[in-house]
Amino acid sequence: MATMKQMRLLPLHLLYLGLSLADDQFVYSGFAGTNLTLDGVAGVTADGMLELTNGTLQRKGHAFYSAPLRFRNDTTFRSFSASFVFGILSDHVDLSAHGMAFVVAAGLDFSAALPSGYLGLLNVQSNGNASNRLVAVELDTMQNDEFGDINDNHVGIDVNSLRSLQSYYAGYYDDGSNGDFRNLTLISGEAMQVWVEYDGEAAQMNVTVAPLNVAKPTRPLVSARYDLSKVLTDVAYVGFSAATGGTLRSRHYVLGWSFGLNRPAPAIDINKLPRLPRVGSKDRSRALTIALTIATAAFLLTGAAAIFVLVRRHRRYAELLEDWEVEFGPHRFSYKDLFRATEGFKSNHLLGIGGFGRVYKGVLPLSKSEIAVKRVSHDSKQGMKEFIAEVVSLGRLQHRNLVQLLGYCRRKGELLLVYENMSNGSLDKYLHANDCLLDWTKRFRIIKGIASGLVYLHHEWEKVVIHRDIKASNVLLDNEMNGRLGDFGLARLYDHGSGSDSDSEPQTTHVVGTIGYIAPELGRNGKASPRTDIFAFGVFMLEVTCGQRPISHERTDDQALLINWVLHHWQNGSLLDTVDVRLQGSYDENEASLVL
């Protein structure tokens, strides 16, 4: 497939690795010189570690054995066994980053898969589909309620879905202590070994985990019965997948790996494994913090001039932080990082100005990730905790047609919402600028993409999300010109099952949105609902198709609204006359009629 790349190095290293050339087994005690199929950010380090992710945000990586293996012998599905040594490193030892998985899959096309909680394997639409044809053992370090995760440190067995058949807290049963359960922390930065065994006759999979240099425990950690002959075809690929999220930097490594069909996986030579990079300990960080504090205090005593400079700097980076915000820590950005990312919110970083704030482009200092920062005035303390909770909740939205909301920062009288940046800017400049004409194919694809995103917000996520400000300037275009709905600063959540007349449905104290996109009933009763979003989406479709703004001062009073103007042409049988004249008739009439 086009997205995969072959990494072929000198076969001389195979002797050092002890790799068997038999078709039904292999072993890697380190990965220098191996021939693996890699994609995404995956690679092999100079010292022979298989690095699935490299610490960059919102990325995925895959590594698979280069050849497919035959899992079916005539009518019998073969047993198999795998063992691997892994390590997960996070910049914050007490905070979870996303995890990784051992995978057996019918194919290698993961181009549509999402990072973060989807582990680079599936996406919103494909999750749970039998057509996925994959089995995975997840080492999950983030709790996702939509997948029914038991906690943020567990091992699970997945079939075609990230909702595990069976899962259990990460750990092992210690044979040397009467089988007592010992907890393990997957993001500890320590190497651990995993054994995966599938009995084809009994149709049962067992997964066992232990620290490195601890013999395989007798009792498996988690087991599940499932006939994999109904999932996998004659041949399948074996390998690994890992992904990162939008706030915490993490790295996923495999140090050694072995596999066997109808036989135990060969033993990995622990003595030949590369060593994981070391992670600074919490005690060392605390000592460093104390030392820096003492040094800073000494520096402050050198003179009033230094004090003056530091006070000014403190005011520049000052932000509000209350006790209740601790639980949202991973989703909160420091103002200092955002200030530096945007070079002090300079005008040359300004992406646009909306009714609720200015948006700036920036690059985070450490991760080098491109972001968009929206500065929103917010003087009221009332409801602030609930608002921040909703912002953090919206950060868990995962859809290819939604701009990822990464987190927030709070200062006195101001909120800063942090999004992933879209390289091609907003759609409105392509619709209403003479030098950026979009052809019909791109316009129709953008319309369908935003429709898919709205279905996810209204029906497919764990809560109903009302966007409340759908318009062309809030639709951003990625590097492939796909439309992605952004600016969730006004969005509100409520539970599924709240009807349009229910008292539990959120009601605004004043109408929010943009003139021309606001549904008539919203102006009368102030009650936002999925239907008011759909009205705005309808206006958006007309704007994209006609190439005209929702309100025009060039048309007569009764047709100043784009809706009325299109309705007039529809009643007169001239509906297609409303299609953007700049397209010069180059469009699909059936598609345009469907949209209009």
User: Residue 187's closest CA among 154, 216, 209?
Assistant: 154
- Full domain range(s) for residue 306: 282-317
CATH code of residue 207? 2.60.120.200
CATH code of residue 519? 1.10.510.10
Between CA 425 and CA 246 the distance in angstroms is 20
> Is the Cα dihedral 134, 139, 144, 148 positive or negative?
positive
| In-domain check, residue 234 | yes
Q: Are 437 and 552 members of one domain?
A: yes
Contact partners, residue 357, CB within 8 Å, separation at least 6: 374, 375, 376, 377, 489
Q: Which residue has the tokens 């349009």?
A: 500
The model's pLDDT over 195-215, given as tens digits with 9 standing for 90+, comes to: 999 999 999 999 999 999 899
Q: Are 356 and 340 members of one domain?
A: yes
Q: Are 52 and 162 members of one domain?
A: yes
Q: What Rg do the C-alpha atoms of the chain give, in angstroms?
A: 27
Q: Are 117 and 246 members of one domain?
A: yes
Structural domain ending residue among the three candidates 378, 400, 420? 420
Q: Are 444 and 540 members of one domain?
A: yes
Q: Are 469 and 582 members of one domain?
A: yes
| In-domain check, residue 153 | yes
Q: What are phi and psi of 129, to 5 degrees?
A: -80, 135
Q: Are 347 and 294 members of one domain?
A: no
Task: Answer yes or no: are the C-beta atoms of 207 and 157 closer than 8 Å.
Answer: yes
Q: Are 168 and 303 members of one domain?
A: no
Question: Which tokens hold the place of 10?
Answer: 């000198």
User: Residue 411's closest CA among 313, 345, 321, 487?
Assistant: 321
Q: Are 293 and 330 members of one domain?
A: no
Residues of the binding site for ATP: 374
Residues of the binding site: 374
pLDDT score, position 310: 47
Contact partners, residue 555, CB within 8 Å, separation at least 6: 565
pLDDT score, position 297: 64
Q: In the chain, which residues have pLDDT < 70?
A: 1-23, 92-96, 279-331, 354-356, 377-393, 434, 488-513, 523-524, 555-557
Q: Are 201 and 264 members of one domain?
A: yes
Task: Answer yes or no: are the C-beta atoms of 58 and 237 closer than 8 Å.
Answer: no
Structural domain ending residue among the three candidates 420, 450, 476? 420
| In-domain check, residue 93 | yes
Query: b/e string for 285-297 if b means 16 or more Cβ within 10 A?
Result: eeeeeeeeeeeee
Q: Are 128 and 159 members of one domain?
A: yes
User: Residue 426's closest CA among 493, 485, 474, 388?
Assistant: 474
pLDDT score, position 395: 72
Q: How many CB atoms lie within 10 A of CB 182?
A: 13
pLDDT score, position 437: 82
Structural domain ending residue among the three candidates 402, 420, 438? 420
| In-domain check, residue 60 | yes
Annotated catalytic sites, by residue?
469
Task: Answer yes or no: are the C-beta atoms of 401 and 450 closer than 8 Å.
Answer: yes
| In-domain check, residue 366 | yes
| In-domain check, residue 200 | yes
Q: What are phi and psi of 424, to 5 degrees?
A: -100, 10
Between CA 588 and CA 592 the distance in angstroms is 6
The model's pLDDT over 110-120, given as tens digits with 9 standing for 90+, comes to: 999 988 889 99
pLDDT score, position 483: 92
User: Residue 34's closest CA among 193, 267, 258?
Assistant: 258
| In-domain check, residue 9 | no
Total structural domains within the chain: 4
CATH code of residue 416? 3.30.200.20
Q: How many CB atoms lie within 10 A of CB 546?
A: 22
| In-domain check, residue 7 | no
CA distances, 63 to each of 66, 100, 105, 187 (Å): 9, 11, 12, 20
Q: Are 268 and 394 members of one domain?
A: no
